[in-house]
Amino acid sequence: MADIFSPSRLGGTSQAVALASACLSILLVLYLMFFADLYRRPDATESQVAQTLEGRPPLDIHIEMMSLDPIRQTVEARLNFPERRADAAQAGGARVRLSDGGFVRELHLPADRAAGATSVEFGLDGSISAYPFDVYRTDALIAAFAGEGAQEAPLAVQLTVWERLPAWEARVVSRPARPGEVGLPISIEARRPPAHVVFALIVYAVMAVIAVCGLAIGVLAACGVRKIEAAFASSLAGMLFAAPMLRNAMPGAPPLGVAADAYVFLWVQVALMIGLVLFICAWARRGSPP
């Protein structure tokens, strides 16, 4: 009992308590900051982007973001055209032209019946190698026309956008028209939600901590600072296989080879392998005989 309450033991306990308290305080502050940021972010809702042409009623187009493929760098959207279209009642109906700078697609809207929903893909600029901070953008143009040939006349466009996109934060806004552009110029941007970014960063941090622990076990055993315990061999082997499972559990887990893998995951595996080899070598040299 006297050793427990000795000054040296009490001093070490006080330092440990102070360090643990500081770590918990930092964790609590980060926790509150994270949830405060989530609370301030508004939920995705419908937004409208409109083009005005004097004396011409707008063509209503509803667009819903369906999915985003970061590998192919495309976003799929579904276009719906409400039945109430005064502009499409003209002979010949209306035509809608969509372009993202790399493709042009034209849709024909008949005047005598409602047009069905149509799926389109917009190409995006971005790279998944920046995971989890990857951002994808594109500038698109939506134009509408009535009539054919010499009778063709531009129509105003009113775009109603539902920006909710699974596992992404999407945003569609109007942008300034470039020279020669006719129609409604828009900009589409998508990025990963803060919760996904924080989760991915925490997983990479956990992998780094596991690597440091595994390397410390191997180095201390090899240097003879700590007693060789055979159970550590299975622990190190488990760490070696746990890191890939953690990596694949991240939200929207990208293919192997993104920049974060080169900075963290690859070296985690190397550190764990070195720690396991050092421990096995120390066990082979100084381990207890049968």
Task: Return the pLDDT at 159.
Answer: 84
Give 223-252 pLDDT, tens digit per residue: 888 788 877 888 888 888 889 898 888 888
What is the 3-class SS of 191-246, one letter each residue?
ECCHHHHHHHHHHHHHHHHHHHHHHHHHHHHHCCCCCCCCHHHHHHHHHHHHHHHH
State how far the Cα of 265 lies from the Cα of 261, in Å rounded to an integer: 5
Task: Return the pLDDT at 39.
Answer: 60
Query: How remote is the C-alpha of 180 from its chain's centroid?
Result: 35
What is the radius of gyration, based on Cα positions, of the chain? 30
Cβ proximity of 215 and 239 under 8 Å: no
Say what the pTM is.
Answer: 0.77
Give 179-196 pLDDT, tens digit per residue: 878 888 889 899 998 888
202/185 same-domain check: no
Task: Return the pLDDT at 24.
Answer: 82
77/169 same-domain check: yes
191, 215, 244 — which closes off a domain? Answer: 191
139, 173, 191 — which closes off a domain? Answer: 191
102/209 same-domain check: no
191, 210, 239 — which closes off a domain? Answer: 191
If one counts the domains in the chain, the total is 2
239/145 same-domain check: no
Give 261-279 pLDDT, tens digit per residue: 999 999 999 999 999 999 8
161/97 same-domain check: yes
CATH of the domain at 80: 2.60.40
32 in a domain, yes or no?
A: no
Task: Return the pLDDT at 53.
Answer: 64
Task: Return the pLDDT at 16.
Answer: 76
212/166 same-domain check: no
Task: Return the pLDDT at 91.
Answer: 45
Which range marks the domain in which residue 203 is found?
196-286
Regions of the chain with pLDDT less than 70: 1-12, 34-46, 51-57, 83-93, 111-115, 148-151, 287-290
Contacts of residue 104, defined as CB under 8 A and 6 or more positions apart, other chains included, come to: 97, 98
9 in a domain, yes or no?
A: no
Q: Which of 186, 51, 187, 61 is nearest to 117 (CA)?
A: 61
65/186 same-domain check: yes
13 in a domain, yes or no?
A: no
71/168 same-domain check: yes
26 in a domain, yes or no?
A: no
Cβ proximity of 211 and 192 under 8 Å: no
67/185 same-domain check: yes
140/267 same-domain check: no
Task: Return the pLDDT at 87.
Answer: 46
